[in-house]
Structure 1
Amino acid sequence: MTLFVISFLIGCLSVMTGRGKRGQWPAGMPVTRPRLVAVGGTYEGTHGRASDAYVVQERLVAVADGAAGAEPGHTAAAVVLGAVVAARPQRAGTRPEDLDECAQTAHRALRTAALREPAGRDLVSTLDVIVLDPGESPRLRFAHVGNGAIWHCVKGAAPVPLTTAHSFGDGPLLRGLGLPSELNPEVGAVSIHPGDRVVIVTDGVVRALGPQRMAELFTAGSSPAACLDRMYDELAAADPKEDATVIIADVAF
């Protein structure tokens, strides 16, 4: 009896291995699909004014940083993320331009909220969004506004920044949700493969660690959790004054 059970299990494993991820599975069997395996968190700044917020879903990660700090900053970030989640960009088209419209929707929501708040002029936020599109040729779409950053880490290669900062050093934001000027988000798309890693950081991380050290740390851990631990250790040593948020997501199939 034991020999029969073992033989049966080996036969099942052989069938699963042979058919693979793209094979024809029996009706009702679950199908593996690309997803983001993500960890993240916010290292709280020493000045005690919350400004960062983020959301992580199966194929969507969004990070917002309220530019003013304190209560208006955190409110701005929360409004922006609420608008992004409501827009469901992972289901609303597959063009990079569709993420432009998602950012514009969040921008309008923040401008509307500003009209209702006594400190409305302080409701300004950055936004970084990534969406994983499945299919025969999976890819990652992104939208970026502000002084955060999105990095793409191809397995076995050096990390590459996908975005540029919309500010000069520690100067004011040149592009930000809630500002009266035209938004003009930076949007794009890249092909992705199993084992690729995508990292989103707010400017608190950029200022504390710098681009070169961040790139080294992005590939220092064998898992997103190990990488996050290393980054938290270095953030603790740097002791940033403002919130520093980092989201590390591996692409899994």
Structure 2
Amino acid sequence: MRPLPSEQPLPPDGPTVDAPEEEPPPVPDTVEASTEPLRLGYYAISDVGRVRKDNQDSGYAGPWLLAVCDGVGGAARGDIASGVAVNELRQLDEAPGSVDLLVRVTDGLHEAHESIAGQVDNDPALSGTSTTATVALFDGHRIAVGHIGDSRGYLLRGGELSQITSDHTFVQSLIDEGRISPEEARIHPHRNLILKALDGLHEVEPDLFTIALAPGDRVFLCSDGACGVLEDARMADILSSGSPEFAAIELVRASLDAGSSDNVTCVVADVLTEEQFAASPLHDDTEPMIVGAAADLKRRMPRSLFRGHRSGDTGELEPVDAEIPEGVGYAIQADPPVDQEEYRYAPLPPPRYTWLRRIMALALVLGLVWVGLASAYWWTQQQYYVAEHDGQVAVYRGIDGIPGLSSVYRTSDLAVDELPEAAQADVEEGIAADDYEDATSIVRNLAEKMMPADDEE
């Protein structure tokens, strides 16, 4: 498979992004934008697959817009993220106006980003949810592509399949650096680690570019449940024949047969002239198609569509709640087994509400320190000793010699200078006691050692 060169990506600066003023130089296998208006004949399908218990993919196909989003989040409901994103992006599906295509795509992705953030703000349990997004916006002559994550876009032209997007994944960075091959990437233990996604938190940084279309082109968008298991030659073979409906359904079936353990979503669209479109069965069915989690965010429909297609039963397994069994697809094996959907974003724990967690952690630490200090102080106040205070024998409470932790508890009428020299030295040095009763006993014993008065000598 040869990558299809495209325009230089633009930096995503939000709604104020300006489209490039000049087209890039012509490159091999590209075409000039058609002067006659073109139409899209499309079909979209999403399947929960044979292992997952719910579908976190969402897809859309309409006269002007094609989109695939693959939600990630596990317990954080990736289906919410993908569904919200597609339902926001579908607002782009309208006839082109004066606003540049790339600006419209950028705006749509930012709106999806903000909608996901709003969902998380309303329900903190969704913190950590995110989704990939691959979008192709059509204006009758070309498509503007916006891409973030590891869903993919392809273009079939003249029987040759070209990947038009680049995965935002760890293994793709290894491929770009020449450290591993694309074949090795398919079995790499970290192939599911995504570096970018729409999560409502991080800045949206999609790849943005345009591609001129020609009659006979076929555009294909899919989640990694398909491109992660199907070889390029197999995808090209399926895409090279039949209608968009046939190709999309066959791609899903082939993905499941190849062992895909993920949800599978495929969107296929043919580029047609007005005459070709009018002569095809597609002109009678131009309603937009929304599939997967986005079709109904409230009602879950996890059953697979594939109990048989063309060749009969595909041997579908009922969705299960247990971990992925050993040997199914490319499931990462571990002890205990690792859920790929949770593992996918393992290195990127969501930092939402980080300030609140830090404050709570600091409060907990300070509380523990306070309890420790209070306990230590309480213990010191249970300690007693006998020493001199203003020339008198006194009982002290606390630790002898430590300012702030020692204070006079009781002062006796016994003068220190009336004691024998040895007793005076002991008092001046401090006499430790087991408790207060022991301290009073020490004072009584000292009183018995008092020196006799001069008139008795």
1:232 to 252, 273, 284: 252
Stretch of structure 1 that moved more, 205-214 or 77-86: 205-214
One-letter identity of the residue aligned with 2:47: Y
Q: Are 1:35 and 2:36 an aligned pair?
A: no
Q: Are 1:111 and 2:122 an aligned pair?
A: no
The equivalent of 1:143 in structure 2 is 146
The equivalent of 1:159 in structure 2 is 161
Deviation at 1:70, TM superposition (A): 6.2
SS at match of 1:247: strand
The equivalent of 2:386 in structure 1 is none
CA gap 1:224/1:173 in 2 versus in 1, 3 angstroms? same
Number of matched pairs: 218
Stretch of structure 1 that moved more, 164-173 or 145-154: 164-173
Unaligned stretches of 5+ residues in structure 1:
1-21, 23-31
One-letter identity of the residue aligned with 1:159: L
Unaligned stretches of 5+ residues in structure 2:
1-34, 172-190, 274-457
SS at match of 1:58: coil
Q: Is the CA contact (8 Å cut-off) linking 1:198 and 1:248 kept in structure 2? A: yes
Q: TM-score, normalised by structure 2?
A: 0.45
Deviation at 1:236, TM superposition (A): 3.1
Within-5 A mapping of 1:203-214: 203-214=224-235
Within-5 A mapping of 1:78-117: 78-88=83-93, 91=96, 93-117=99-123
Higher-Rg structure is: 2
Within-5 A mapping of 1:54-69: 54-69=59-74
Deviation at 1:69, TM superposition (A): 4.4
The equivalent of 1:251 in structure 2 is 271
Alpha-carbon RMSD: 2.3
Taking the aligned partners of 2:95 and 2:199, their CA distance within structure 1 comes to 23
Q: TM-score, normalised by structure 1?
A: 0.78
The equivalent of 1:123 in structure 2 is 129
Q: Is the CA contact (8 Å cut-off) linking 1:49 and 1:70 kept in structure 2? A: no
Stretch of structure 1 that moved more, 112-121 or 191-200: 112-121
Q: Is the CA contact (8 Å cut-off) linking 1:151 and 1:200 kept in structure 2? A: yes
CA gap 1:69/1:197 in 2 versus in 1, 3 angstroms? farther
The equivalent of 1:10 in structure 2 is none
Within-5 A mapping of 1:154-233: 154=157, 156-169=158-171, 170-178=191-199, 180-219=201-240, 221-233=241-253
Taking the aligned partners of 1:121 and 1:71, their CA distance within structure 2 comes to 6
Deviation at 1:201, TM superposition (A): 0.6
Taking the aligned partners of 1:90 and 1:96, their CA distance within structure 2 comes to 14
Deviation at 1:71, TM superposition (A): 6.9
One-letter identity of the residue aligned with 2:112: A
Stretch of structure 1 that moved more, 108-117 or 166-175: 166-175
Taking the aligned partners of 1:217 and 1:226, their CA distance within structure 2 comes to 9
- CA-to-aligned-CA distance 1:162-182 (integer Å, 9 cap, x gap): 100111242432110015332
Q: Is the CA contact (8 Å cut-off) linking 1:89 and 1:99 kept in structure 2? A: no
Q: Percent identity?
A: 23
CA gap 1:36/1:87 in 2 versus in 1, 3 angstroms? closer
Question: Which of the pair has the greater relative contact order for Cα pairs under 8 Å at 6+ separation?
Answer: 1
Q: Is the CA contact (8 Å cut-off) linking 1:94 and 1:133 kept in structure 2? A: no
Q: Which contiguous aligned blocks of 4+ residues in structure 1 show a shift greater than 4 angstroms?
A: 87-90
SS at match of 1:160: strand
SS at match of 2:44: strand
Q: Are 1:133 and 2:136 an aligned pair?
A: no
Taking the aligned partners of 2:225 and 2:200, their CA distance within structure 1 comes to 21
